[in-house]
């Protein structure tokens, strides 16, 4: 019986054809022209805001590059990844949505899929490194003070090497990049899991090393930080002003990192769920119209981070100016006395 079941499973895998091989033209849009135009306008707005916002973050950071802390260096790297997604990837999909088909062929499809996976993986691993930096600075101060700027640059080299490795592995024949079911975009070939055991092993490796493991590290780090902050708030109040100011700055960087990670995961988790369902669920069980929404939501992730930087910076500036005013009032009272 087991042999018959395995033969049936093997035969079903051999018989399965992914959506891009079932029709002669895999790059024709499966959506209405009106839907493609709306998606094209949406991505145009997202792309412009993301390019301007992340470009501004990089420009402002370059003016004080020698004063950047390790966590700030990581957030600049995150802005570089987001800018890369906006500049390298979005023009391909915008042109294709307005053209009502993917117009760049298989070479353009593989390049677009590689670029999206490369910068997306780089963003997630960067946020993982930021969360570990925050965890050490808040929860293990003896280790946190050991982290310096040159450690951040070493970490950047590891991040880029990690993203390059996993994005390039499909070109070695292990996996592939393929058009999305709706035809006007390309992504990792999740449908390989329906075709063979080797495809399943590849997809599971991608899921673990490029999604589940980094996400678990991020969640662990920030849960520990929240617990530590709750228990140490009263202790910090007894320290002198210099230590309190340093603690406020560290908490500001931690808030930025937490919001960035939350925005990224909220944008990408629906897409990851749909992709996993496409890989391991019933073949072609995800409706084409339904698969477009998570894709567009994931493409908007690069826009959130500059907004988060500005909101936190404004709040921090207001608190800092309020603190300065109170100090000035105290000094004037002392002088009058």
* Beta carbons within 10 angstroms of residue 65's beta carbon: 10
Read off the pLDDT band of 104 (50, 70, 90).
Answer: very high
The mean pLDDT of the chain is 80
Q: What is the mean pLDDT of residues 201-228?
A: 90
**pLDDT score of 232:** 66
Read off the pLDDT band of 145 (50, 70, 90).
Answer: low
**pLDDT score of 248:** 66
Read off the pLDDT band of 249 (50, 70, 90).
Answer: low
**pLDDT score of 63:** 86
**Position 71 pLDDT exceeds 60:** yes
Lookup result for tokens 């390059």: 164
Read off the pLDDT band of 310 (50, 70, 90).
Answer: low
Q: List C-alpha distances in Å: 117 to 43, 209, 212, 303.
A: 18, 13, 15, 17
59 versus 318: the higher-pLDDT residue is 59
Q: What is the mean pLDDT of residues 304-320?
A: 61
Read off the pLDDT band of 245 (50, 70, 90).
Answer: low
As given in the structure block, the two tokens for residue 147 are 């982290």
- Residues 270-284: tens digit of each pLDDT: 998 888 888 887 766
Q: What is the mean pLDDT of residues 97-125?
A: 94
Q: Which backbone phi and psi does 286 adopt, to 5 degrees?
A: -90, 120
CA 260/CA 120 separation, integer angstroms: 14
Residue count of the chain, please give it. 337
**pLDDT score of 214:** 93
**pLDDT score of 320:** 47
Q: Which domains does the chain have, with CATH numbers?
A: 31-315 (1.20.1070.10)
- Residues 53-65: tens digit of each pLDDT: 999 989 988 888 8
């Amino acid at each position: 019986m087991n042999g018959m079941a395995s033969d049936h499973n093997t035969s079903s895998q051999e018989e399965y054809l992914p959506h891009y091989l079932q029709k002669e033209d895999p790059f024709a849009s499966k959506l209405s022209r009106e839907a493609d135009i709306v998606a094209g306008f949406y991505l145009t707005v997202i792309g412009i805001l993301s390019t301007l916002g992340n470009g501004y973050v990089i420009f402002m950071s370059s003016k004080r590059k020698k004063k950047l802390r390790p966590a700030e260096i990581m957030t600049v790297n995150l802005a570089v990844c987001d800018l890369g997604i906006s500049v390298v990837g979005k023009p391909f999909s915008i042109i294709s949505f307005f053209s009502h088909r993917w117009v760049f062929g298989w070479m353009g499809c593989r390049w677009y899929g590689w670029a999206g996976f490369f910068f997306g993986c780089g963003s997630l691993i960067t946020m993982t490194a930021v969360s570990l930096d925050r965890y050490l600075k808040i929860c293990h101060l003896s280790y946190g003070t050991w982290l310096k700027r040159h450690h951040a640059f070493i970490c950047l080299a590891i991040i880029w090497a990690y993203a390059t490795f996993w994005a390039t592995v499909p070109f070695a024949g292990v996996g592939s990049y393929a058009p999305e079911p709706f035809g006007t975009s390309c992504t990792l070939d999740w449908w390989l899991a329906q075709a063979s055991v080797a495809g399943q092993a590849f997809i599971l490796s991608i899921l673990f090393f490029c999604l589940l493991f980094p996400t678990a590290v991020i969640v662990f780090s920030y849960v520990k930080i929240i617990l530590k902050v709750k228990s140490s708030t009263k202790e910090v109040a007894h320290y002198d002003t210099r230590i309190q100011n340093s603690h406020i700055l560290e908490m500001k960087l931690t808030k930025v990192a937490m919001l960035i990670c939350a925005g990224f995961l909220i944008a990408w988790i629906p897409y990851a769920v749909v992709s996993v369902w496409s890989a391991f669920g019933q073949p072609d069980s995800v409706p084409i119209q339904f698969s477009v929404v998570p894709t567009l939501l994931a493409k908007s992730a690069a826009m959130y981070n500059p907004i988060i930087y500005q909101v936190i910076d404004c709040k921090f500036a207001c608190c800092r100016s309020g603190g300065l005013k109170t100090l000035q009032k105290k000094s004037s009272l002392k002088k009058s006395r």
